[in-house]
A and B are shown apart, each in its own frame.
Chain A
């Protein structure tokens, strides 16, 4: 929203005018006791006299409302705002009822992700310019409202004796909840957010998204790779453009550029296969399917941490019901949008402190991480968890938010994070506890008190207490945390456990990641581990053989070592930038005396320590994937990195008179990382990349075919709790779509591990002769033991692509 929309500056307001780096115009800093209201709210005005949304508004001093709630008289007053609210609610309800028609599905999606959020933000008196700057806040608040609506639906459903997540209960629950919030929000504002400006160039921005989606779908139907490659090329071009565009153009286009590029990279993977694509998402899909088919979510999850997360149970089940979409497409189409809003939000936050060119560097580094495109779209609960984490950072660090809003948003988004993803919550809780402690130490040592300290402590308490309540007495879902704790207690932190095999530097560079095993190494480990198996025959007569080679070439063999070296170097450079940036941010915060920058620098300090502990301790690394942690870390560290680059750029300009050197170097580095991490180099080398072709390592691991899904359904319906199931490391993903158990599944598809009474499930890839297994994070590939299976078992199920032995 620009100053023109806010109207003339209130002559009575003495709020300082400042230049907002996120806007082209000068804004008035919102004050606690001043809120913008339309002239229609003046006492005595009849509803007919009201000013329209775009009309000039006045800002007047009103009685402070500390709770942010409307007075009783304003609750009874009618206004165009409430008419608009009722119209939006009617549209939502109508859309839900008629969601068999595509138009209404789209309508429901648009209204459900905007209207509830706007109502809540108005009720909390969050300044409209802030809301306009962060579209993600509206979406985040809307999803938080959905969680509340889910709770209301359970109350209504149980009282009326109908299923809580049925369509009819949800219509009633949405109406009740939104009418209540609308009443609290009170009259006084237009329902339209921001200045809707469409430039011709804006219409080009969906091009990467549409091309990437079309490319993935074309590949799913056996089409050529060219469209998928073009989609990723457009996305990379968009990201690089964000780094080198002239400043005025960048200011206008940065957000849509980042969003469309981020979403294109995500869709390139998430839309592969007609089912879900990836590891965790297969289990997430199962808990979603169970919730949606039962039309009920229960807190009695029997220790299943997935089932305890509303982000992959109640919320997507509600979306299935209100939009009529299949559950897999809720995860494949809608959830990547949450993730794509993360870098946009981080950019907008950085823009409050940095010029656009440097604010964009951190978010772009997030997109350049390998985990962004290939891993994040397969983690639905983390997409929402990291999304709320970004919103928490906004709540704490955005300078335009009044203290009261900061507190409310911190609590709301903190609670939503707890309900969305346990690992992100644990990391956030440690981060915020550490930062709170540092903030208190700064206060005690007589330094300037961070102004966000109350919000920081409230957010920390929400995360810690919320997690303790939700994960322990409500859902009993602390299995993941218990596993880490018991591992730490039994084995200690296991600092650099692989260091005896190489130098310290080599160990550091490789981190605590897995490595390949040879067939004989694996076999030795297997014999030790599987001594209890009752084999049908002497397995010594059936030694494991090497797997047939995967199709593909090696056209860039001469270049690949340099690519690997360059990637390692740039990843380490990112770590160095984060550390140096944190120091620069800390110094800048103290020099400027900016309390919010101080909070940001303390968050960065703790995050750097967390990253280092994950790198050094195998016990912690076992609990949380380093690549995923890096995405969360860069959300915090983006500001520090941008601040460092700004300083370095100023230095290069002063010393060697090269003003564009740093942005160009950053663009070149990011371009290199993106070329490698999006799979382009792999594709041009061997033709193998799941987002560009129907072959390759990831394709064989994660692409789920219809015959595999059909066979998994068949087996799930017949396997008994007493039965053992032996399958490939990635065959378990197909089974995880439907089979709700962890015990009794053996993922070593080798004769030594096949019990004579077990089921053996062979996937499409196993039928082609390749089996993948592993010990811990170390993976091995060997030939499918067809001879042993044919000699000892019968085939109880077959289609053209899959077999089940018994």
Chain B
């Protein structure tokens, strides 16, 4: 009561095909499909955009959190800095560095002293090497 030759051949061919899929080039092709070719970038953002200050009394620094997500395949060191810009001109303030591993996210607490001017002032946080910047507008009118 042996199975028909055709069924045996088809079964053997199917097993062979499955082995090739598991261990051969198709597996690599599928891995390639699943990979993200344009996954080489960093995300830079205000962690809580709803809580960003839009007005400021001029007393004390402004606080906010920024986040950096590293989508490069290796760990990166990011150098960040802050620039304030108002009608009085542009002032650069020292920032710092932060190490972020691949597919990791870091959050930084940032405090910025605003220029003592009345009116709108733009605060810009830069990731120097990445040429990425985020910014917010703060109204310092009384």
Q: Which residues of A contact B (CB under 8 A)?
A: 50, 52-54, 101-103, 106-107, 110, 192, 196, 214, 217, 220-222, 271, 274, 326, 329, 705-707, 710-711, 714, 718, 720, 759, 793-801, 804, 806
Q: How far is the CA of A661 from the CA of B33 in the complex (A)?
A: 45
Q: List 17 A-B contacts (CB under 8 A).
A: A50-B1, A53-B7, A54-B7, A110-B14, A192-B7, A196-B7, A196-B10, A274-B35, A274-B37, A795-B135, A797-B44, A798-B45, A799-B42, A799-B43, A799-B44, A800-B41, A801-B41
A221 close to B43 (CB less than 8 A): no
Residues of A within 8 A of B46 (CB): 796-797
Q: How far is the CA of A562 from the CA of B32 in the complex (A)?
A: 41
Cβ contact within 8 Å between A797 and B32: no
B94 within 8 A of partner (CB): no
A237 and B37 alpha carbons, distance in the complex (Å): 31
Given A800-B42, A801-B41, 8 more contacts at CB 8 Å?
A: A52-B3, A220-B37, A706-B37, A710-B71, A718-B50, A794-B122, A799-B41, A800-B132
Instruction: Give the docked Cα–Cα distance between A710 and B41 (Å).
Output: 10
Given known contacts A52-B1, A52-B4, is B32 in contact with A796 (CB within 8 Å)?
no
Do A217 and B21 touch (CB < 8 A)? no
Are A102 and B52 in contact, with the CB atoms below 8 A?
no
B-chain residues with CB within 8 Å of residue A795 when the two chains form the complex = 133-135
Given contacts A710-B71, A794-B134, contact A705 B38 (CB under 8 A): yes
Q: Which of A220, A718, A794, A801 has the most CB of B within 10 A?
A: A794
Is B18 part of the binding interface, using a Cβ–Cβ cutoff of 8 Å? Answer: yes
Inter-chain CA distance A200–B4, complex, in Å, is: 21
In the complex, which residues of chain A have a beta carbon less than 8 angstroms from the beta carbon of B18? 103, 106-107
| Chain B residues positioned under 8 Å from A274 (CB to CB) | 33-38
Q: Give min CB distance, A273 to chain B, whole Å.
A: 10
Contacts of A271 in B (CB 8 A): 33
Task: Check A54–B6 contact: CB distance below 8 A.
Answer: yes
- CB neighbours (8 Å) of B21 from chain A are 102-103, 106
Taking A106-B21, A274-B37 as contacts, is the C-beta distance between A806 and B135 under 8 angstroms?
A: no
Chain B residues, CB < 8 A from A50: 1
CB distance from B17 to the nearest CB of A (A): 8
A165 to chain B, nearest CB (A): 22
Q: Which of B22-30, B73-81, B109-117 contacts A (4 or more CB under 8 A)?
A: B22-30
Q: Complex Cα distance A798/B125, Å?
A: 11
> Would you give the shortest CB distance from B28 to chain A, in whole angstroms?
11
Interface presence of B48 (CB below 8 A): yes
B119 within 8 A of partner (CB)? no
Question: Does B61 count as interface, using CB distance less than 8 angstroms?
Answer: no
Residue from A214, A326, A706 in contact with B39 in the complex, judged by beta carbons closer than 8 Å: A706
- The answer to whether B134 touches A710 (Cβ under 8 A) is no
Interface centre among B29, B38, B41 (most CB of A within 10 A): B38
With A102-B22, A797-B134 in contact, is A329–B33 under 8 Å at CB? yes
**Interface: B69 (CB within 8 A):** yes
B83 beta carbon closer than 8 Å to chain A: no
Instruction: Find chain A residues with CB under 8 A from B62 CB.
Output: none
> Which 9 pairs, one residue from A and one from B, show the smallest C-beta to C-beta distance?
A794-B136, A54-B4, A797-B45, A103-B22, A796-B49, A221-B37, A103-B18, A794-B135, A706-B38
List, in ascending order, chain A residues with CB within 8 A of B32's CB: 217, 221
B49 to chain A, nearest CB (A): 4
- Restricting to B1-16, which residues have a CB under 8 Å from any CB of A? 1, 3-4, 6-7, 10, 14
Quote the shortest CB–CB distance from A366 to chain B (angstroms): 28
Given contacts A54-B7, A798-B133, contact A707 B34 (CB under 8 A): no
Please name all residues of chain A whose beta carbon is closer than 8 Å to the beta carbon of B4 when the two chains form the complex.
Answer: 52-54
Does the CB pair B30–A797 fall under 8 Å?
no
CB-defined contacts of A804 to chain B, threshold 8 Å: 45
Chain B, residues 106-130, CB within 8 Å of chain A (1/0): the string is 0000000000000000100000001
Q: A102-B27, A106-B18, A220-B37 are in contact. Are A796 and B52 (CB under 8 A)?
A: yes
B91, CB-defined interface residue at 8 Å:
no
A800-B29 Cα distance, complex, nearest whole Å: 28
B30 engages A102 (CB within 8 Å) = yes
Q: How far is the CA of A110 from the CA of B6 in the complex (A)?
A: 18
Complex: how many Å from CA A720 to CA B6? 62
Assembled-state Cα–Cα distance A793/B122 (Å) = 10
| A706 partner residues in chain B, CB cutoff 8 A | 36-39, 41, 71
A192 and B9 CA atoms in complex are apart in Å by 14
Cα A217 to Cα B30 with chains together (Å): 10
Option from B22, B52, B134, B135 in Cβ contact (under 8 Å) with A101: B22
Contacts of B27 in A (CB 8 A): 102
* Residue of chain A at shortest CB distance from B36: A706
Give chain B interface residues in 46-60, CB to chain A under 8 Å: 46, 48-50, 52
CB distance from B113 to the nearest CB of A (A): 18
How far, in whole Å, are A217 and B41 apart by their CA atoms in the complex?
20
Inter-chain contact B34/A326, CB cutoff 8 Å: yes
Q: Is B88 an interface residue (CB 8 A)?
A: no
> Which residue of the partner chain A has the closest CB to B49?
A796
A718 to B47, CA, bound (A): 9
Which residues of chain B have C-beta atoms less than 8 A from A53's C-beta? Answer: 3-4, 7
Q: Which residues from A are CB-within-8-Å of B98?
A: none
- Whether A711 contacts B48 by the Cβ 8 Å rule is no
A798-B132 in contact (CB<8A): yes
Q: Smallest distance from the beta carbon of A126 to chain B beta carbons, Å? A: 22
User: Considering the chains assembled together, what is the distance between the CA atoms of A620 and B112 in angstroms?
Assistant: 58
What is the distance, in angstroms, from B96's C-beta to the closest C-beta of chain A?
19
Least CB separation from B2: chain A residue: A52
CB neighbours (8 Å) of B44 from chain A are 797-799
Q: Which residues of B contact A220 (CB under 8 A)?
A: 37
Given known pairs A103-B21, A796-B134, the reply for A714 and B33 (CB within 8 Å) is no
Contacts of A806 in B (CB 8 A): 49, 52, 136
Residue of A nearest to B30 (CB): A102
A-chain residues with CB within 8 Å of residue B52 when the two chains form the complex? 794, 796, 806
For A326, the chain B residues whose CB sits under 8 A away are: 34
Determine the distance from Cα of A103 to Cα of B10 in the docked complex, in whole angstroms. Answer: 16
Least CB separation from B132: chain A residue = A798
Question: Once the chains are docked, how many angstroms separate the CA of A797 from the CA of B10?
Answer: 55
CB distance from B90 to the nearest CB of A (A): 15
CB atoms of B6 and A196 under 8 A apart: yes
Which chain B residue lies CB-closest to A197? B6
Question: In whole angstroms, how far apart are the Cα atoms of A329 and B14 in the complex?
Answer: 23
- Chain A residues in 8 Å Cβ range of B33: 217, 271, 274, 329
Are A718 and B48 touching (Cβ within 8 A)? Answer: yes
Q: Which residues in B have their C-beta under 8 angstroms from that of A718?
A: 48-50
What distance in Å separates the Cβ of A524 from its nearest Cβ neighbour in chain B? Answer: 31
Taking CB atoms, residues of chain B closer than 8 Å to A101 are 22
Closest-CB distance, B33 to chain A (whole angstroms): 6
Find out whether the CB atom of A796 lies under 8 angstroms from the CB atom of B45: yes
Contact A794 to B137, CB < 8 A, known contacts A52-B1, A103-B18: yes
Q: Which residues of A contact B130 (CB under 8 A)?
A: 800
Cβ contacts under 8 Å, A54 to chain B:
4, 6-7
Q: Which residue of A lies closest to B4 (CB)?
A: A54
* Pair A797/B22 contact, Cβ less than 8 Å: no
Find the B residue at minimum CB distance from A705. B38
Instruction: Chain B residues near A217: list those with CB within 8 A.
Output: 29, 32-33
A214 to B25, CA, bound (A): 12
A102 to B33, CA, bound (A): 14
Contacts of B137 in A (CB 8 A): 793-794
B133 CB, nearest partner CB in chain A, Å: 7
Q: Are A222 and B45 in contact (CB under 8 A)?
A: no
Q: In the complex, what distance in Å separates the CA atom of A711 from the CA atom of B46?
A: 12
Considering only CB atoms, which chain B residue lies closest to A49 in the complex?
B1
| Cβ A796 vs Cβ B136 within 8 A | yes
Closest CB in chain B relative to A212 CB, distance in Å: 13
- Which residues of chain A have C-beta atoms less than 8 A from B135's C-beta? 794-795
Bound CA–CA A107/B14 (angstroms) = 10
B43 and A797 within 8 A (CB): yes
A107 and B11 CA atoms in complex are apart in Å by 12
Complex Cα gap A794–B50 (Å)? 12
Q: With a CB–CB cut-off of 8 A, which chain B residues contact A800? A: 41-42, 130, 132
The residue of chain A having its C-beta at the shortest distance from the C-beta of B3 within the complex is: A52
